[in-house]
């Protein structure tokens, strides 16, 4: 199944019958945040919140990409991993 819009891609991820790998989830998160909010300008999480730090770093990894670029990459990634999880 090939999502053609951002909303379709989001809906498709909610139909996954098994959980993607942590690496895939982080990439989905980073691309989603970049596509919806743009560059990450928030402060880095401190302490031992490793999950929040990983999410922060994933989003930061897409810095400089336009919202439309991030959306296109998100659609590609969802299409690619949907084959494994639906």
Render pLDDT for 20-60 as a digit per residue (tens, 0 to 9): 999 999 999 999 999 999 999 999 998 899 999 999 999 99
**What is the spatial distance between Cα 40 and Cα 84, in angstroms, rounded to a whole number?**
30
**What is the spatial distance between Cα 67 and Cα 36, in angstroms, rounded to a whole number?**
7
Residue 53's pLDDT is what? 96
CATH of domain 6-85: 1.20.80.10
- Give the pTM: 0.94
| Domain boundary assignment for the chain | 6-85
């Amino acid at each position: 199944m090939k999502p053609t819009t951002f909303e379709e891609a989001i809906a498709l991820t909610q139909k996954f019958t098994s959980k993607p790998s942590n690496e895939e989830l982080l990439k989905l998160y980073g691309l989603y945040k970049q596509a919806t909010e743009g560059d990450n300008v928030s402060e880095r999480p401190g302490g031992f919140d490793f999950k929040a730090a990983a999410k922060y770093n994933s989003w930061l990894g897409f810095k400089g990409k336009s919202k439309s670029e991030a959306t296109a990459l998100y659609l590609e990634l969802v299409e690619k991993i949907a084959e494994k999880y639906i």
